[in-house]
Amino acid sequence: MKNQISEFEKYLKKNNKLSKNTIDAYMTDIHQFFDYLSESGFSSFSDITNAVLLAYCAKMQSKGISKASILRKLSSIKKFYGYLNIKYNTGVDIGAFEDLPKHKKSLPKYVSTQEINKLFDSFDVNTHKGLRDKAMLELLYATGMKVSELISLKLFDLSLEKMEVTLPDRDGYNTLPYPESTMRAIKEYLTHARPVITKNHPSDILFVNLKGEGMTRQGFWKIIKEQADKAGVTEEINPNTLRNSFAVHLINNGADVLDIKEMMGHSDISTTQAYFEAAKSEKLRRRVTTKHPREH
């Protein structure tokens, strides 16, 4: 059984689309399942049945593992058995996984365009910090990139002339366009703020903290929270909701699902589909509330 697990890990590593973290997560789930089978007296992966899976789910639940985590682990096991069926013709019916309880995903949280506008109108562009903060948030909202990608950007990753930014560590489509308003915000930062901030601390990092050093995720979260409070934003806003808002607002303006998938770096179109469900919900809410008699 251990040899089959090792072979599966080698198989995953040959798939260039999977990150090390993803592979590690798969293997952790498989090793935990192997431990369960061994403790239960199973000597072969071929002995799996629907009852075994349900018993494993029950054991995880008794340990306080969330339903979402359990379903993720089952997904890893299903992928493993798909491999075993092809490699060893084990004959295990992975359709048994389909009979297990499903987890209804919650819609991505996002912020309305009105609150986004309040946020961007609140920056004090007469200060170096204000210019930097506005440029960062403009670029994040304009491209839908992750915070980790934003704070790791180098000066040479950005093109003001082409109005695009390149994410060198992202697989697949990694050059993202941004609008003219974002270009102006970045240009103001690069012209009037960054040279002063980095005067005594030369750096090739695009967005630096006020000491001229690279910014941390925690530092960026703090900036958004403080700015949201200053702007009087009532909806929950953080790097994740800002990224989600990028997708939902683009969809509401007619953007194509494949374009959004590429810009957000999703490997699976089903991940992007969640934003379409959120956008559909928002459109329904607006249609109903604007026509409701209590709205007038």
Q: What residues make up the domain containing 67?
A: 2-99
Residue 281 lies in a domain: yes
Q: Which of 64, 99, 134 is the last residue of a domain?
A: 99
120 plus 94 within the same structural domain: no
Q: In this structure, are residues 50 and 96 in contact, taking their beta carbons and an 8 Å threshold?
A: yes
Distance CA 135, CA 153 (A): 13
Q: What is the mean pLDDT of residues 33-48?
A: 81
pLDDT at 2 over 70: yes
Residue 46 lies in a domain: yes
Per-residue pLDDT at 282: 57
pLDDT at 16 over 70: no
285 plus 141 within the same structural domain: yes
Residue 108 lies in a domain: no
Which two three-digit tokens encode residue 112?
A: 């309305």
Confidence of residue 294 (pLDDT cuts 50, 70, 90): very low
Q: Which of 99, 134, 169 is the last residue of a domain?
A: 99
Phi-psi category of residue 124: left, alpha or beta, with phi > 0 → left and psi -120 to 50 → alpha: beta
39 plus 136 within the same structural domain: no
Nearest to 272 by CA among 293, 250, 287, 239: 250
Residue 187 lies in a domain: yes
150 plus 207 within the same structural domain: yes
CATH number at residue 227: 1.10.443.10
User: Kind and range of the H or E element at 176?
Assistant: strand 175-177
51 plus 73 within the same structural domain: yes
147 plus 256 within the same structural domain: yes
Residue 179 lies in a domain: yes
Question: Using one digit for the tens of pLDDT, what is the confidence trace for 222-239?
Answer: 999 999 999 999 888 888
142 plus 198 within the same structural domain: yes
44 plus 162 within the same structural domain: no
Residue 105 lies in a domain: no
Residue 296 lies in a domain: no
Question: Using one digit for the tens of pLDDT, what is the confidence trace for 51-94?
Answer: 777 788 878 888 888 777 888 888 888 888 888 777 776 666 55
Q: Which of 99, 124, 159 is the last residue of a domain?
A: 99
Question: Using one digit for the tens of pLDDT, what is the confidence trace for 152-192?
Answer: 999 999 999 999 999 988 877 789 999 999 999 999 999 99
206 plus 74 within the same structural domain: no
pLDDT at 255 over 90: no
Which two three-digit tokens encode residue 220?
A: 């960026």
Residue 104 lies in a domain: no
Does 13 or 45 have the greater pLDDT score?
13
Per-residue pLDDT at 251: 84
33 plus 140 within the same structural domain: no
Q: In this structure, are residues 165 and 157 in contact, taking their beta carbons and an 8 Å threshold?
A: yes
Distance CA 118, CA 132 (A): 17
83 plus 143 within the same structural domain: no
What is the count of structural domains for the chain? Answer: 2
Which two three-digit tokens encode residue 169?
A: 């560590």
Q: In this structure, are residues 166 and 175 in contact, taking their beta carbons and an 8 Å threshold?
A: yes
240 plus 179 within the same structural domain: yes
- Dihedral sign (CA 65, 84, 45, 100): positive
CATH number at residue 91: 1.10.150.130
- In sequence order, which ranges of 89-216 are alpha helices (DSSP H)? 113-121, 128-143, 147-151, 180-188, 194-197
